[in-house]
Structure 1
């Protein structure tokens, strides 16, 4: 974790959250007691911020500063409101292309996907507040700075985002091996949101039940799957190919 995306101290973290600063994750020393730490914990629960209770040794490794038992990861970017972004894209007259990342947890994969999304004209990336990879210095580096060019939306639940996209006339397509259809069977010329799953388990079953279409990549080798950022690139460039045709 890089210092420029790190804040520390109980009161400092409370003030950062109250000011609207995006806090991705908080590390709290195990066993801390007191009114101030209670205020922080209540605020963390209210805002749905991911928190981990860790030994003081872990905090000391994260920062040499006087952390007072609390260190927070902050985001280098501001997140966009999904409703406003969808409306902006539709009103622009462009054919919407969104990317939904369902519980993707690796920050380097996240960065690589953002980079490809920027190159392929994705209008917005949607992630869930809980369980998703944070935007760290590694994410920024792997994205080659694209993280500052592609709107990213954080939502409470991926399912709600899918419902909103569908209600806005945007088709949802899941990248999954649990289908006979390939990406070459999908019409990506239509307004589309592509859903990519977590590195280890793919798209959650609850999300798969909601989407409009499923598609997979043809696989001819002995290894059954691709890295998620590579697979995402294949889906996005098939979209580009179709829209250029």
Structure 2
């Protein structure tokens, strides 16, 4: 698990970049795992100096002193301690929406940035695009179920290895549609982290379409299905002239 480092004390803060400035005060310095550095004083919520996702971050910490230098392009932030009040390092994770507890460890689980993760172990389950985490749980493993639309609506286990979405979609739509170029069946395949409808005549025919997040509700003039998505209706072929 990643950690966040915190330093406090009488510091001199120098920033070089859009507006050069030097400041001194008793401040709290926060160095995050993504190399973001924040310097806070006693006033307000806005840091007095900061550098977001620096290209490089060097931290030196010794008895009675600390210092750091962060660089991002032409910008440079340096913090030097004159008197140290305290320092600490704490484990940290991304914050997210609570989605229950892990059935094996009992740890809280949260959804953030396209995945569901445990707060203590760091275990992470990627989420399919456009999915919704449900309150109900998997009968086999106890993890939350996820509602996903890929041609039809599916409620699958959060753990892909427990209840693979691609197997459910394949059972429903494999061979359901025909290739518009050679009339061979379109097979449901999982490749590069995406569900595709690919021509059965591959490699002679390389036609393939990414399955959008939505439900198949009609048939396009080209013969492929039309999907109802969050952005409206679209053909399986996103470049279709009839869509």
What's the TM-score, normalizing by structure 2? Answer: 0.23
Q: Of the two structures, which has the highest relative contact order with CA contacts closer than 8 Å and spacing of 6 or more?
A: 1
Give 1 or 2: higher strand fraction.
2
Larger Rg: 2
- The structure where helix makes up a greater share of residues is 1
TM value normalised by structure 1: 0.23
